[in-house]
Amino acid sequence: MMPEKANRMETHTFFLQLLIILVAARLFAEIAVHLGAPAVIGELTAGIILGPSLLGWIQPNEIIRYLAEIGILLLLFEVGLDTDMRKLMNTGRSSAIVALGGFIIPFVLGYLLASLAFDLSTLVSLFIGGALTATSIGITLRVLSDLGQRNSREGQIVLGAAVLDDVLGVVLLALLYEFSIAGGISLANTGKVLAFITLFFLLAPIAAKLISVLIKHVDDASDLPGLIPTAMVSLVLLFAWLAHKMGAPELLGGFAAGLALSRRFFLPFGIALHTETEFSQRIEAQMRPIIQLFTPIFFVMVGLSLNLQEVDWSSAFIWAFSFLFLLVAIIGKFSGALLTAEPIRQRIAIGVAMVPRGEVGLIFAELGRTSGIFDNNIYAGMIMVIALTTLLPPFLLKYIYRQEFTTQ
Amino acid sequence: MMPEKANRMETHTFFLQLLIILVAARLFAEIAVHLGAPAVIGELTAGIILGPSLLGWIQPNEIIRYLAEIGILLLLFEVGLDTDMRKLMNTGRSSAIVALGGFIIPFVLGYLLASLAFDLSTLVSLFIGGALTATSIGITLRVLSDLGQRNSREGQIVLGAAVLDDVLGVVLLALLYEFSIAGGISLANTGKVLAFITLFFLLAPIAAKLISVLIKHVDDASDLPGLIPTAMVSLVLLFAWLAHKMGAPELLGGFAAGLALSRRFFLPFGIALHTETEFSQRIEAQMRPIIQLFTPIFFVMVGLSLNLQEVDWSSAFIWAFSFLFLLVAIIGKFSGALLTAEPIRQRIAIGVAMVPRGEVGLIFAELGRTSGIFDNNIYAGMIMVIALTTLLPPFLLKYIYRQEFTTQ
């Protein structure tokens, strides 16, 4: 009886923990934004400060972990909801070059550096390469909006590239996940993952239509409020569970659910199934508070999970690792931008805007850590690389656009 | 290692459980509303069907219980937010008679019936009386709205009475909680509870002002979105934790937080501190999806917690108990309404409208059960009484107003 009782947290203790997490996340996010950094940096910092790295007030526990899982699922739902396949087609050639170049080059360079210079295993090297391919669509779009550049030509290119990069990243994540479970990417397994993704991308608009019709029907038939929040969260949970059942990461389910309900989802074959704009806007308006409540818990949880006291900071390895992979992370994304035919200043701006790894990079790192692929040193190094790639570009972009403004 | 692993639910299993709870709650709520019953009846039924009473698909577990606790805290926050002390003053004498009569009579009758006829202990009898005092402000307002009677004179009286009943119910709940912990209501303990409530009711408008100013300041200083959801949930958690620390039920904290932020909070001394209407509306709009997501989990949890297989349905006790307390529950609320000077038809309509115990009655019953005061038989009997008081009035009110319409 006793150990069971000791394990069970009292309700008011849970309330206090959740309170501290929410308030600290917000406080440090505000400080980060005040200093010109993305909010996510503040939330990570809150977790590092509250967790075993510094204060040790909150140990990562099961209930907080479940809430964090819902948070990241909902974030991927939102990313899916924001993904607009038509934008990608309109921005055309440049977007594709930026996305593919900025995807392949960091992956290959990261893999080679990890496996040749650091003598790491294939699986670890692939995950490091994978984490370096990510572009945080959220942070990138946020930075461009803050600078009033979202509708400029380079803004459109970055938007398209970030959307494509996001889809590529999710596919790669599924492949790496498969690789980490099966020990290799067999043709059958790759086929299965690709079949699943194709199935999802083919069924998503049909599901969206069916769900729209069903929800609208229920909405018309009764005046019982609150359908959208429960229906949407249920949908995300269902797709996450289905994804798991098909051997893919649960996160892909959240993304697919969002993509299925996004305002303009296009099949590659030119088939378009529009979700009603009014309905789509209502979903966004009602889901936003829920997403905003849950997602900081994920980033705080990542900070809590990172025990920096276990890292040997006096070792040359961690410093060399962080420095070299930071270079690869920046050069990789820049190369993609430099391959385009845009004016040089625009190419630089695009390159900088694509650098932030943010939450997408963290998903790779977190998956690497929880599945035991990354040890604490590599995980800490990757977190440093992700943090720096996320922290530096906003300052650089501000500088670039201020220069441009001055020289005009 | 093994037992720990066995205890730990996998993430996708948690997702599936939450999915089933949300979908079942909605499905049965829709069916209930379709049949003319309140949604809460459907949610309870979903829990009874999914839980050990029938299918046994979901056992009540720690994570679902925590989510349910957040749900009921948020529901009380919403009730507090809806509480308008000025309405109470405007509806005047009749509201006060309905509220006080409908509070004292069921409490005394319920207590006497329990302790004299059923020979139950003082504590159990007090909790039964307490559960019978409740009026579900949510269900009552919903039924009146559905019938287009919310702004009629009897609608105003019921509204005022339900608001006052709600405050009285929360105070009584705190006293009974104190009684159940201390084994009696000592003058010191009663004083402490009353001091706490008074302190809360005195500090709430000041807190509301301070919070408004702080939140508005933060909102102006940064364009980081999502302040209201995290700030409001944090506030509710903070007040719940403070309530616990002061020896009061955590639920009171949720109610106080809502009251503090309600649009028109008045101190008894005529001091008014208005929250800006625009800000209050934003809070309501952004909190509504979160409340709608969480609260069904509470009612499903109540259904899950109710193991009807443990109830001896062949015993005469359960039938006699349910029947007699249902009579007391109806007569008690009717008496309050009959004491007013309104026309007889209006008195009947008011009496019927005050009958639903709904979620407020369930809070008493649930507190009685979790603190071990109610055994399974008494708990089941109370649930039946609450279910019937909640289920019958909507049908009766429809009948009364249809009659009135026909005779006009």
Q: What CATH number is associated with residue A87?
A: 1.20.1530.20
Question: What integer pLDDT is reported at residue A108 of this predicted model?
Answer: 94
Long-range contacts of the stretch B282-287 (C-beta < 8 A, 24+): B282/B228, B283/B81, B283/B228, B283/B232, B284/B81, B286/A288, B286/A289, B286/B228, B286/B229, B286/B232, B287/A289, B287/B74, B287/B77, B287/B78, B287/B81, B287/B228, B287/B229, B287/B232
Least trusted range by pLDDT, from A296-310, B78-92, B374-388: B78-92
Least trusted range by pLDDT, from A137-146, A363-372, B65-74, B250-259: A137-146
In eight-state DSSP terms, residue A59 is -
Closest CA to B52 of B381, B376, B405: B376
- Measured between CB atoms, which of A14, A63, A289 is closest to B290? A289
Residue A372's domain comprises 20-407
Helix (H) / strand (E) containing B196: helix B187-221
Tell me the chain A residues in contact with residue B244 when contact means C-beta distances shorter than 8 Å: 12, 15
A2 has pLDDT over 60: no
**Cβ separation A11–B231 shorter than 8 A:** no
SS3 B61: coil
Average model confidence (pLDDT) for chain A? Answer: 79
Select the highest-mean-pLDDT range: A98-107, B81-90, B262-271: A98-107
Question: What integer pLDDT is reported at residue B101 of this predicted model?
Answer: 93
Q: Nearest chain A residue to B217 by CA: give it.
A: A30
State percent of chain A over pLDDT 70.
77
Strand partners, A273: A265
A197 has pLDDT over 70: no
Rounded to whole angstroms, what are the CA distances from B190 to A231, B178, B198, B248, B367?
Answer: 45, 8, 12, 11, 19
DSSP-assigned states of every residue in B341-390: -S-HHHHHHHHHHH---HHHHHHHHHHHHHTTSS-HHHHHHHHHHHHHHH
The one-letter code for the residue type at B394 is P
Rounded to whole angstroms, what are the CA distances from B96 to B91, B92, B110, B336, B362?
Answer: 8, 6, 21, 9, 24
B178 has pLDDT over 80: no
Residue B3, in any domain of the structure: no
**Cβ separation B34–A222 shorter than 8 A:** yes
Rounded to whole angstroms, what are the CA distances from A336 to A95, A169, A331, A339?
Answer: 9, 15, 9, 5
CA distance A294 to chain B (A): 9
**Cβ separation B224–A29 shorter than 8 A:** yes
**Cβ separation B289–A287 shorter than 8 A:** yes
Q: What is the pLDDT of residues A51-72, one digit of tens each?
A: 988 898 888 888 998 999 898 8
**Cβ separation B26–A288 shorter than 8 A:** no
Question: How many contiguous H segments (helices) and E segments (strands) does chain A have?
Answer: 16, 2
Helix (H) / strand (E) containing A15: helix A11-34
B151 has pLDDT over 90: no
Confidence of residue B8 (pLDDT cuts 50, 70, 90): low
A208 has pLDDT over 70: no
Tell me the chain A residues in contact with residue B6 when contact means C-beta distances shorter than 8 Å: none
Contact predicate A68/A298, CB 8 Å: yes
Contact predicate B300/B26, CB 8 Å: no
Compute the average pLDDT of residues B46-67: 88
Residue whose tokens read 């396949």: A85
- Measured between CB atoms, which of B33, B62, B228 is closest to A8? B62
Rounded CA separation A183/B277 (Å): 59
Helix B277-305 and helix B358-370: axis angle, to 10°? 50
End-to-end CA, chain B: 74
Higher pLDDT, B77 or A14: A14
Confidence of residue B227 (pLDDT cuts 50, 70, 90): confident
Rounded to whole angstroms, what are the CA distances from A256 to A76, A83, A197, A242, A251?
Answer: 8, 10, 9, 11, 9
Rounded CA separation A373/A194 (Å): 23
Give φ, ψ of A210 to 5 degrees: -60, -45
Give φ, ψ of A224 to 5 degrees: -75, 120
B3 has pLDDT over 50: no
Rounded CA separation A367/A355 (Å): 21
Question: What integer pLDDT is reported at residue B275 of this predicted model?
Answer: 54
Residue B162, in any domain of the structure: yes
Angle of CA points B45, A286, A293, to nearest 5°: 90
Rounded CA separation B351/B102 (Å): 9
Question: What integer pLDDT is reported at residue B66 of this predicted model?
Answer: 92
Report the number of distinct structural domains present in chain A.
1
Contact predicate B273/B209, CB 8 Å: yes
Q: What is the pLDDT of residues A130-172, one digit of tens each?
A: 989 988 766 676 667 666 676 677 877 887 787 678 777 767 8
Confidence of residue B177 (pLDDT cuts 50, 70, 90): confident
> 3-state DSSP: chain A helix, strand, coil percent, rounded to 5?
80, 0, 20
**Cβ separation B8–A237 shorter than 8 A:** no
Residue B152, in any domain of the structure: yes
Compute the average pLDDT of residues A8-35: 89
Residues 6+ apart with CB under 8 A from A365: A131, A374, A379, A382, A383, A386
Tell me the chain A residues in contact with residue B63 when contact means C-beta distances shorter than 8 Å: 62-63, 66
Angle of CA points A21, B170, B377, to nearest 5°: 100
**Selected residue of A230, A236, A252 to mutate for chain B interface (largest B Cβ count, 10 A):** A230
Contact predicate A103/A133, CB 8 Å: yes
Question: What integer pLDDT is reported at residue A325 of this predicted model?
Answer: 93
Higher pLDDT, B156 or B228: B228
Tell me the chain A residues in contact with residue B14 when contact means C-beta distances shorter than 8 Å: 66, 69
Residue whose tokens read 């919070």: B211
State percent of chain B over pLDDT 90.
19
Residue B135, in any domain of the structure: yes
Residue A2, in any domain of the structure: no
Least trusted range by pLDDT, from A78-92, A112-126, A264-278: A264-278
The one-letter code for the residue type at A209 is K
Compute the average pLDDT of residues B100-115: 93
Task: Return the structure tokens found at B10.
Answer: 């996998």
Q: What is the pLDDT of residues B194-208, one digit of tens each?
A: 677 667 666 765 676
Helix (H) / strand (E) containing B272: strand B272-274
Question: What integer pLDDT is reported at residue B269 of this predicted model?
Answer: 45
Q: What is the pLDDT of residues A209-244, one digit of tens each?
A: 677 668 767 776 766 788 889 989 998 999 888 877
Rounded CA separation A123/B75 (Å): 48
DSSP-assigned states of every residue in B324-344: HHHHHHHHHHHHHHHTS-S-H
Select the highest-mean-pLDDT range: A254-258, A296-300, B157-161: A296-300
Strand partners, B265: B273
Residue B360, in any domain of the structure: yes
Rounded to whole angstroms, what are the CA distances from A133 to A81, B175, B257?
Answer: 21, 60, 45
Confidence of residue A293 (pLDDT cuts 50, 70, 90): very high
Rounded CA separation B83/B63 (Å): 30
Confidence of residue A6 (pLDDT cuts 50, 70, 90): very low
SS3 B35: coil
Rounded CA separation B221/A35 (Å): 12
Task: Return the structure tokens found at A256.
Answer: 């697919």
Contact predicate A385/A33, CB 8 Å: no
Rounded to whole angstroms, what are the CA distances from B26 to B20, B55, B288?
Answer: 10, 18, 16
Complex ipTM: 0.77
B345 has pLDDT over 80: yes
Q: Count contacts between A and B (CB, < 8 Å).
A: 147
Rounded CA separation B2/B106 (Å): 52
Closest CA to A312 of A375, A371, A370, A363: A375
Rounded to whole angstroms, what are the CA distances from A254 to A402, B193, B400?
Answer: 38, 46, 49
Confidence of residue A327 (pLDDT cuts 50, 70, 90): very high
Task: Return the structure tokens found at A294.
Answer: 């849950």
Angle of CA points B94, B96, B102, to nearest 5°: 100
- Measured between CB atoms, which of B19, B26, B290 is closest to A241? B19
User: What number of other Cβ atoms are within 10 A of residue A34's Cβ?
Assistant: 12
Select the highest-mean-pLDDT range: A164-178, A190-204, A268-282, A393-407: A164-178
Rounded to whole angstroms, what are the CA distances from B164 to B49, B133, B137, B204, B393?
Answer: 35, 12, 10, 17, 20
Question: What integer pLDDT is reported at residue B12 of this predicted model?
Answer: 87
Residue A60, in any domain of the structure: yes
Rounded to whole angstroms, what are the CA distances from A17 to A64, A226, B204, B293?
Answer: 9, 28, 23, 21
Confidence of residue A269 (pLDDT cuts 50, 70, 90): very low
Residue A381, in any domain of the structure: yes
CA distance B245 to chain A (A): 9
Rounded CA separation B281/B297 (Å): 25
Least trusted range by pLDDT, from A71-80, A131-140, B86-95, B155-164: B86-95
Select the highest-mean-pLDDT range: A402-406, B302-306, B337-341: B337-341
Rounded to whole angstroms, what are the CA distances from B344 to A25, B101, B348, B405?
Answer: 57, 17, 6, 16
Rounded CA separation A136/A82 (Å): 13
